[in-house]
């Protein structure tokens, strides 16, 4: 029986997913390569080799430590190898910024200075990028500014944008996917006075959750691309879902409202998030800030690098109840088969569980009005640019058919102007399109699915297969910045370009 595909990745079956892949290290090199067509019968050898059972929802969620720039004036990171206990029976080799995973959450108030020394202790060049922050070119973390082994880069800038859930990750040329996969990312939260006055749940009622699907071998080690499977260049999918570096964790909650700041830190997988026994929850924010008004949803789609800020209310739960956060699968993202041994886009998978342990007289009210989002108008735009998403000969993912070149400037924009960017996807796969150095608004999309996240400030937007999405962008920061697909294997494989704002 083809176990992997018969599974619905539910709580019961997930227990079987944590074994190593016995077959992996000794994988038969003569094994026929899986075909690139969308064969419904995947190779089940890895699944068949699953032996050990590890129960889901038995490990506590790790809440990252915080570096709060209201309290510290300076921080230090170094990209380095480390070992963490993702599984109880053997340590896993990872990459970290301060020796452990999850990496710390950075918290900064609007107006404060950010100051961090970053040392590269890896064997290759790297650089940290602050995803979603609008900072000077030299502070942004473009791969052209990567530092060599042993060097230290000093980041120093004032945070000048409104509250939101951002993140940081390394961004070396051609190796971003591999480094994030092994651990080099974390949360970056900006707070401001407007948000504080809304009285949203905070402290223990506010949780950052990064969701990442990963693959492990029989020795509990991460493995990234499969050299035998060229489809991994279309995106690396895993069968083990980590939340804050823990597989299928649980978290104890009280019968009140929680603010969950969720980041999709995966390589390629898009999730459609929902709770099993709580029908609706409230979307309050997107990538780069709060929405104007909260929006009640039953599920929410989050593609790679996007963030959703939600409020979930446990008030109707009883002590002892368990609420599971899951993905319902998102087959619309692609009909391509990626690695045939791993759950496809359509897979339903559990993510984590909330254990209700205490009654709580919650007094939080989510205000009906959150912030003002001044709408940019089509008439504000000085021009429209079209960017196409395509795959060219050799299976290379590109923007405008041009593989990325580190120093080539692909677009020149006038500082202080507003433009419409028309993002045209000409392939059978959704792409999360990201721009550095700006935040933007979505004007419209010509596809069938509507995304409530389109209403907020964005820095990453999903463009569905064969869809055209129009965004409107105001350029306030001079310099060279990247724009790219945020499927990590696509950006590493050339689906990236440079923009000069002057």
Q: What residue ranges bind ligand C2O (CB under 6 A)?
A: 129, 131, 169, 171, 305, 434, 436, 482, 484, 486
Least distance in Å: CB of 132 to ligand C2O? 8
Least distance in Å: CB of 118 to Cu ion? 16
Tokens of 314: 């446990």
Q: Which is nearer to ligand C2O, 445 or 484 (CB)?
A: 484
Q: SS in 3 state form for 197-259?
A: CCCCCCHHHEEEEEEEEECECCCCCECCCCCCCHHHHHCCCCCEEEECCEECCEEEEECCEEE
Least distance in Å: CB of 218 to ligand C2O? 32
Tokens of 469: 């999405």
245 binding partner (options ligand C2O, Cu ion, none; Cβ < 5 to 8 Å by kind): none
Beta bridge partners of 113: 158
Q: Which is nearer to Cu ion, 324 or 441 (CB)?
A: 441
Q: Which is nearer to ligand C2O, 57 or 168 (CB)?
A: 168
Q: Which is nearer to Cu ion, 225 or 431 (CB)?
A: 431
Least distance in Å: CB of 87 to Cu ion? 31
Least distance in Å: CB of 399 to Cu ion? 9
Residue 229 Cα distances to 43, 113, 244, 428, angstroms? 12, 46, 28, 19
Among 496, 471, 314, 500, smallest CA distance to 411 is for 500
C-beta of residue 75 within 8 angstroms of C-beta of residue 154: no
Residue 383 makes CB contacts below 8 A (sequence gap 6+) with 419, 420
Q: Which is nearer to ligand C2O, 42 or 143 (CB)?
A: 143
Least distance in Å: CB of 434 to ligand C2O? 5
Question: Taking CB positions, which residue lies at the least distance from ligand C2O?
Answer: 131
482 binding partner (options ligand C2O, Cu ion, none; Cβ < 5 to 8 Å by kind): ligand C2O
Tokens of 300: 């929410």
171 binding partner (options ligand C2O, Cu ion, none; Cβ < 5 to 8 Å by kind): ligand C2O
CA angle in degrees (0–180, nearest 5) for 194-295-378:
75
Least distance in Å: CB of 486 to ligand C2O? 6
38 secondary structure, DSSP code:
-
Q: Which is nearer to ligand C2O, 229 or 430 (CB)?
A: 430
C-beta of residue 98 within 8 angstroms of C-beta of residue 77: yes
- Using DSSP bridges, classify how beta strands 113-120 and 75-84 pair: parallel, antiparallel or unpaired: parallel
Among 286, 309, 335, 290, smallest CA distance to 451 is for 286
Question: Taking CB positions, which residue lies at the least distance from Cu ion?
Answer: 485
Give the integer Cα–Cα distance in Å for 27 and 286.
42
430 binding partner (options ligand C2O, Cu ion, none; Cβ < 5 to 8 Å by kind): none
305 binding partner (options ligand C2O, Cu ion, none; Cβ < 5 to 8 Å by kind): ligand C2O
Residue 165 makes CB contacts below 8 A (sequence gap 6+) with 187, 189, 208, 261, 263, 285, 287, 307, 309
Q: Which is nearer to Cu ion, 302 or 352 (CB)?
A: 302
Q: In the sheet where 289-297 sits, what is the strand order?
A: 246-247, 240-243, 206-214, 257-264, 307-313, 281-286, 289-297
Residue 200 makes CB contacts below 8 A (sequence gap 6+) with 206, 259, 284, 311, 364, 366
Least distance in Å: CB of 367 to Cu ion? 30
Give the integer Cα–Cα distance in Å for 430 and 127.
27
Least distance in Å: CB of 434 to Cu ion? 5
Q: Which is nearer to ligand C2O, 257 or 484 (CB)?
A: 484
490 binding partner (options Cu ion, ligand C2O, none; Cβ < 5 to 8 Å by kind): Cu ion
Beta bridge partners of 354: 251, 323
3-class secondary-structure state, position 24:
helix
487 binding partner (options Cu ion, ligand C2O, none; Cβ < 5 to 8 Å by kind): Cu ion
Least distance in Å: CB of 324 to ligand C2O? 28
Task: Write the DSSP assignment of 25-42 as a string of letters.
Answer: HT--TTSPPPPSS--SS-
Q: Which is nearer to ligand C2O, 254 or 436 (CB)?
A: 436
225 binding partner (options ligand C2O, Cu ion, none; Cβ < 5 to 8 Å by kind): none
Least distance in Å: CB of 168 to ligand C2O? 8
C-beta of residue 289 within 8 angstroms of C-beta of residue 162: yes
Q: Which is nearer to ligand C2O, 205 or 440 (CB)?
A: 440
**Rule CB under 5 A: which residues touch Cu ion?**
131, 431, 436, 485, 487, 490, 495
The upper half-sphere exposure of residue 175, i.e. CA atoms within 13 Å in the direction of its Cβ, equals: 16
485 binding partner (options Cu ion, ligand C2O, none; Cβ < 5 to 8 Å by kind): Cu ion
Among 350, 357, 358, smallest CA distance to 276 is for 350
Give the integer Cα–Cα distance in Å for 284 and 301.
14
Q: Which is nearer to ligand C2O, 235 or 340 (CB)?
A: 235
């Amino acid at each position: 029986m083809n176990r992997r595909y018969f599974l619905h990745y539910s709580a019961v079956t997930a227990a079987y997913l944590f074994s190593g892949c016995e077959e992996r290290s000794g994988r038969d090199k003569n094994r026929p390569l899986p075909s690139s067509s969308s064969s419904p019968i995947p190779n089940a050898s890895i699944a068949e080799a699953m032996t050990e059972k590890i129960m889901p929802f038995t490990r506590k969620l790790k809440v990252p430590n915080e570096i709060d720039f209201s309290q510290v004036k300076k921080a230090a990171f170094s990209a380095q190898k480390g070992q963490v206990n993702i599984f109880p029976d053997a340590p896993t080799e990872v990459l970290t910024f301060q020796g452990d995973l999850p990496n710390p959450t950075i918290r900064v108030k609007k107006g404060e200075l950010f100051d961090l020394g970053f040392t590269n202790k890896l064997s290759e060049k790297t650089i940290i990028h602050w995803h979603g922050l609008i900072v000077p070119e030299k502070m942004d973390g473009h791969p052209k500014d990567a530092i060599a082994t042993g060097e230290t880069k000093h980041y120093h800038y004032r945070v000048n944008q409104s509250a939101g859930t951002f993140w940081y990750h390394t961004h070396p040329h051609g190796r971003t996917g591999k480094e994030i996969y092994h651990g080099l990312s974390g949360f970056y939260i900006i707070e401001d006075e407007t948000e504080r006055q809304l009285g949203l749940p905070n402290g223990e009622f506010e949780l950052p959750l990064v969701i990442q699907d990963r693959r492990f071998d029989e020795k509990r080690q991460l493995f990234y691309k499969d050299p035998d499977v060229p489809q991994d260049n279309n995106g690396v999918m895993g069968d083990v879902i980590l939340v804050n570096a823990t597989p299928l964790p649980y978290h104890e909650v009280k019968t009140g409202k929680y603010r969950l700041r969720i980041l999709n830190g995966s390589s390629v997988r898009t999730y459609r998030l929902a709770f099993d026994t709580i029908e609706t929850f409230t979307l309050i924010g997107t990538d780069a800030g709060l929405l104007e008004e909260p929006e009640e949803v039953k599920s929410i789609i989050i593609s790679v690098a996007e963030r959703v800020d939600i409020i979930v209310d446990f008030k109707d739960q009883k002590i002892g109840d368990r609420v599971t956060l899951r993905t319902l699968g998102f087959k619309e993202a692609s009909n391509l088969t990626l690695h045939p041994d791993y759950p496809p886009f359509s897979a339903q998978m559990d993510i984590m569980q909330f254990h209700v342990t205490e009654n709580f007289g919650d007094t939080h009210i989510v205000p009906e009005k959150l912030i003002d989002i001044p709408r940019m108008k089509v008439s504000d735009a000085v021009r429209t640019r079209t960017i196409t998403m395509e795959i060219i000969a050799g299976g290379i993912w590109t923007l405008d058919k041009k593989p990325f070149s580190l120093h080539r400037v692909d677009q020149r924009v006038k500082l202080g102007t507003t433009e419409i960017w028309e993002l045209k996807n000409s392939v059978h796969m959704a792409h999360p399109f990201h721009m550095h150095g700006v935040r933007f608004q979505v004007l419209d999309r010509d596809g069938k699915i509507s995304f409530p996240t389109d209403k907020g400030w964005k820095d990453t937007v999903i463009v569905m297969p064969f869809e055209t999405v129009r965004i409107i962008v105001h350029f306030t920061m001079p310099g060279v910045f990247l724009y790219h697909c945020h499927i990590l294997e696509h950006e590493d494989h050339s689906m990236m370009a440079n923009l000069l704002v002057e």
